């Protein structure tokens, strides 16, 4: 039986404001879309936190034996500076400032994004579509929205008429905003814009003559609106109605509100059953953001090269630090907090390592492993509560220490259950890695190479040059270069 049949997962749905039982549309399958990065600069640690929240959610679904299609896009066009409709495209602006092709900007920061995710042990999504790869799909959606009378063309651009939409639907259903209040609180358009109402948003923008990123469309040579991209890519791969849509809290309005409106206008149905929003990582009490410079880069954490850091921290320690907070809580970054997380992470890993040295006995145990294990599941079933799961893992650390000191006993079967559960939650679900294992493997590799260097030296002393050359050449074949110097032979990997 798949594991999900024995667990009852609850998810906090931003749309209802309540924790709801998770019932997927197709039994045993989960379709999840998460808004990806706008690749115009390096991802900062705040972005990493949001993607990590969804990485753990993805991992838990997999652990529960669901078949998951996880789609996370790359925004490589259409995201306007300050998230508004009038102004420069974030990627085009960066390309202008750095005198690069926009696609060079996109390539550079997509590569950076992938490297960071790899370093922080993220699972790759099932599909990673790009906005520029889905222009045709976006144009088709715009045509449909125009056909309903809710989309309108003005001077080569196309906008979504939120006032008209709101006559039959609820614009504000996700964010709780009220359109009358929104209209009352915005300045008049002063004839500056082609929009009918200030709240209308762009589906298609006509490109200025100097604008490089442009595609032909029935309305103009131009480019799509940011909100439209996610509608096109989510529905293409997950259908018009899918299980989960996620992103950072700051995307709830206008981005996700507009996605719902586009879908409703186009298909007559609300696209998503569970809207999930991850909360922000702050620094000095303020949101980490690319635009304000109030941020830390993930690479700086790993190298320690940032004034607020007392030293470097590993990717797993950073993961552990982030997962000690629930994804819906704000988390403030500080050196003290990550130093404390490092201590906790090491304590946990020591216990995981010690587990393999513990032997079972026939004596009865007062530790109830089955109940402890269910408490771990209960934590994750309660809207992916990683801090409670980590607290349960520290209960396990306490048990391990009692077992180590001989103050407790454990049966063969319980030990097996205990070890399997700890490994599953620590490595598969939280995505931590045992860095000590990696370090000790490196030490072993160094030892083996040094042993071969010793054998090669001996072969040379014996004038067995065939053997000494063979050792050198085969190491080169493995990408290991030997360097003979005055102080002996060294190597580089």
Binding residues: 35, 230, 255, 259, 290
Q: Please, which residue, 230 or 331, has the CB nearer to Zn ion?
A: 230
Return the DSSP state at 406: T
Decide: helix, strand or coil at residue 12. strand
Task: Please spell the DSSP secondary structure of 186-203, one letter per residue.
Answer: S---TT-SS-SSTT-EEE
d(CA 162, CA 264): 12
Identified binder of ligand AMP from the candidate list 35, 135, 213, 233, rule CB under 6 A: 35
- 241 in helix, strand or coil? coil
- Residue 47 CB, nearest approach to ligand AMP (Å): 4
Residue 167 and residue 187: Cα distance in Å, rounded? Answer: 22
Nearer to Zn ion, 34 or 56 (CB): 34
- Shortest CA distance to 411 belongs to which of 357, 372, 369? 369
Shortest Å, Cβ 43 to ligand AMP: 7
DSSP code per residue over 268-333 = SS--EEEEEEEPPEEETTEE--TTTS----HHHHHH--STT-SS---HHHHHHHHHTS-TTS-EEE
Q: Which two tokens stand for residue 144?
A: 């449909």
Binding-site partner at residue 271 among ligand AMP, Zn ion, none, CB < 5 to 8 Å by type: none
Per CB under 6 A, does 50 bind ligand AMP?
yes
Q: Which does 323 bind (CB under 5 to 8 A by kind): Zn ion, ligand AMP, none?
A: none
Do β-strands 201-206 and 286-287 pair in parallel, antiparallel, or remain unpaired? Answer: unpaired
Angle between helices 135-147 and 226-238 (to 10 degrees): 100
Separation of CA 412 from chain center: 38
Give the x/- contact pattern for ligand AMP in 351-390, rule: CB under 6 A.
----------------------------------------
Complex with ligand AMP: residue 257 or 414, whichever CB lies closer: 257
Residue nearest to ligand AMP (CB): 248
Q: Could you say which of 9, 35, 266, 355 contacts Zn ion (CB under 5 A)?
A: 35
Q: Is there binding between residue 397 and Zn ion (CB under 5 A)?
A: no
Between 125 and 431, name the residue whose CB sits nearer to Zn ion: 125
Pick out the residues of the known binding site for ATP: 290
Q: How far is the CB of 289 from ligand AMP (least distance, A)?
A: 6
Burial class (CB in 10 A: 0-12, 13-18, 19+), 401: middle
The residue written with tokens 């030490």 in the block is 443
Shortest distance in whole angstroms from residue 440 CB to Zn ion? 42
Residue 230 found at the interface with Zn ion (CB under 5 A):
yes
Residue 230 binding partner per list Zn ion, ligand AMP, none, with a CB distance cut-off of 5 to 8 Å that depends on partner kind: Zn ion
Candidates 140-148, 281-289, 303-311, 471-479; binding stretch for ligand AMP (CB under 6 A): 281-289
CA atoms within 13 A on the CB side of 388: 15
Which string of x and - marks every residue 208-247 that binds ligand AMP (by CB under 6 A)? ---------------------------------------x
CB nearer ligand AMP, residue 59 or residue 72: 72
Residues placed in the known binding site for Zn(2+): 35, 230, 255, 259
From the CB of 279, what's the least distance to ligand AMP, in Å?
A: 7
Q: Is the CB of 46 or the CB of 431 nearer to Zn ion?
A: 46
Site string for ligand AMP, 402-431 (x = CB under 6 A): ------------------------------
> Could you tell which of ligand AMP, Zn ion, none binds residue 141, using a CB distance below 5 to 8 A set by kind?
none
- Options 46-54, 117-125, 153-161, 470-478: segment touching ligand AMP (CB under 6 A): 46-54
Q: Which of 122, 119, 123, 124 is nearest to 315 (CA)?
A: 119
Residue 280 binds to ligand AMP (criterion: CB under 6 A): yes
**Residues 31 and 244 sit within 8 Å (Cβ to Cβ):** yes
- Helices H / strands E in the chain, number of each: 16, 15
Pick from 24, 31, 46, 78: which binds ligand AMP (CB under 6 A)? 46
Query: Is 321 in contact with 327 (CB distance < 8 Å)?
Result: no
The strand ranges marked E within 35-177 are 67-72, 151-154, 157-160
> Which CB, 37 or 271, lies closer to ligand AMP?
37
- Residue 288 in contact with ligand AMP, rule: CB under 6 A: yes
Going by C-alpha positions, the residue among 406, 491, 493, 394 that lies closest to residue 451 is 491
The residue (of 44 and 164) whose beta carbon lies closer to ligand AMP is: 44
Q: Is 47 in the site for ligand AMP (CB under 6 A)?
A: yes
Strand partners, 89: 80
Sheet strand arrangement including 201-206 = 151-154, 157-160, 201-206, 222-224
- # residues contacting ligand AMP (CB under 6 A): 16
CB of 16 to ligand AMP, least distance (A): 21
CA distance 195 to 490: 69
Which residues contact Zn ion (rule: CB under 5 A)?
Answer: 35, 230
Which residues contact ligand AMP (rule: CB under 6 A)?
Answer: 35, 37-38, 46-47, 49-50, 247-248, 250-251, 280-281, 287-289
């Amino acid at each position: 039986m798949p594991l999900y049949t024995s667990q009852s997962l609850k998810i906090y749905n931003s749309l209802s404001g309540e924790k709801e039982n998770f019932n997927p549309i197709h039994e045993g399958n989960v379709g999840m879309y998460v808004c990806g990065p706008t690749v115009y600069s390096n991802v900062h640690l705040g972005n990493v936190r949001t993607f990590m929240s969804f990485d753990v959610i993805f991992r838990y679904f997999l652990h529960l034996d669901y078949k998951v299609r996880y789609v996370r896009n790359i925004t490589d066009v259409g995201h306007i500076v300050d998230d508004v409709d009038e102004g420069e495209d974030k990627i085009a602006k960066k390309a202008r400032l750095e005198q690069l092709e926009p696609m060079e900007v996109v390539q550079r920061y997509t590569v950076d994004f992938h490297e960071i995710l790899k370093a922080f042990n993220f699972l790759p999504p099932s599909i990673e579509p790009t906005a520029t790869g889905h222009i045709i799909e976006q144009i088709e959606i715009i045509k449909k929205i125009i056909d309903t009378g809710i989309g309108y063309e003005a001077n080569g651009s196309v906008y979504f008429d939120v006032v008209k939409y709101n006559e039959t639907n609820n614009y504000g259903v996700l964010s709780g905003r009220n359109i009358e209040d929104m209209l009352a609180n915005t300045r008049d358009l002063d004839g500056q814009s082609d929009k009918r109402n200030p709240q209308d948003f762009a589906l298609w923008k006509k490109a200025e003559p100097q604008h490089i990123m442009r595609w032909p469309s029935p309305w103009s040579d131009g480019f799509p609106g940011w909100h439209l991209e996610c509608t096109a890519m989510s529905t293409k791969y997950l259908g018009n109605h899918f299980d989960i849509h996620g992103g950072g809290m700051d995307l709830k309005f206008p981005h996700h509100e507009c996605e719902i409106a586009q879908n409703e206008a186009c298909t007559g149905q609300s696209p998503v059953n569970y809207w999930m929003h991850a909360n922000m990582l702050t620094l000095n009490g303020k949101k980490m953001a690319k635009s304000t410079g109030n941020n830390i880069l993930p690479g700086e954490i790993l190298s320690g090269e940032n004034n607020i850091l007392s030293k470097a921290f590993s990717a797993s320690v950073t993961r552990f630090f982030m997962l000690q907070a629930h994804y819906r809580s704000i988390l403030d970054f500080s050196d003290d907090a990550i130093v404390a997380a490092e201590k906790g992470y090491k304590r946990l890993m020591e216990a995981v390592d010690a587990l393999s040295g513990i032997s079972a006995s026939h004596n009865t145990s007062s530790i109830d492993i089955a109940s402890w294990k269910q408490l771990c599941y209960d934590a994750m079933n309660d809207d992916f509560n990683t801090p409670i799961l980590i607290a349960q893992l520290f209960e396990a650390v306490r048990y391990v220490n009692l077992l180590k000191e001989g103050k407790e006993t454990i049966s063969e079967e319980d030990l097996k259950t205990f070890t399997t559960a700890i490994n599953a939650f620590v490595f598969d679900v939280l995505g931590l890695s045992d860095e000590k294992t990696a370090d000790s493997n490196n030490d072993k590799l160094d030892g083996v190479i040094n042993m071969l260097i010793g054998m090669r030296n001996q072969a040379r002393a014996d004038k067995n040059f065939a053997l000494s050359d063979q050792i050198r050449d085969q190491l080169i074949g493995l990408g290991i270069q030997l360097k003979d110097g005055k102080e002996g032979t060294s190597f580089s990997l």
